[in-house]
Amino acid sequence: MQDWLVGFDDIMARMPDPAAADPVVYPIRHGSMRVGLYAPRGSDPQEPHSQDELYIVARGSGQFVKDGDTRPVGPGDLIFVEAGAAHRFLDFSDDFVTWVVFWGPQGGEAR
């Protein structure tokens, strides 16, 4: 059985090497939902995803661009990205880490 409570430090200890192609760990999954920690280093190579997602910035700061709109982000900020939207983090600090939550059907929820 998967644990329903996982500590931030425990998840960070399981993060892949900073040079990894996909710097994310998903400690909790249930049905279509998965929750992870994402810690890009240097650049953010993301492509649009097939599910809706939320980011909750845990630490660090930077910029977030979604469909050409760029905004500053920092700890505690909540970001919604609908399925298929072009997005990525830019100019983020070396300690940048964000929670990421994916859920729902492929193609996203009905609008």
Does 22 score more than 90 pLDDT?
no
pTM metric for this prediction: 0.92
Q: What pLDDT score does 19 carry?
A: 72
Give the model confidence (pLDDT) of 39-68 as tens digits: 999 999 999 999 999 999 999 999 999 999
Q: What pLDDT score does 110 carry?
A: 81
The Cα 75–Cα 87 span in angstroms is: 18
Give the model confidence (pLDDT) of 82-95 as tens digits: 999 999 999 999 99
Give the burial string for 16-26 (b: 16+ CB within 10 Å, else e). Answer: eeeeeeebebb
The Cα 111–Cα 66 span in angstroms is: 18
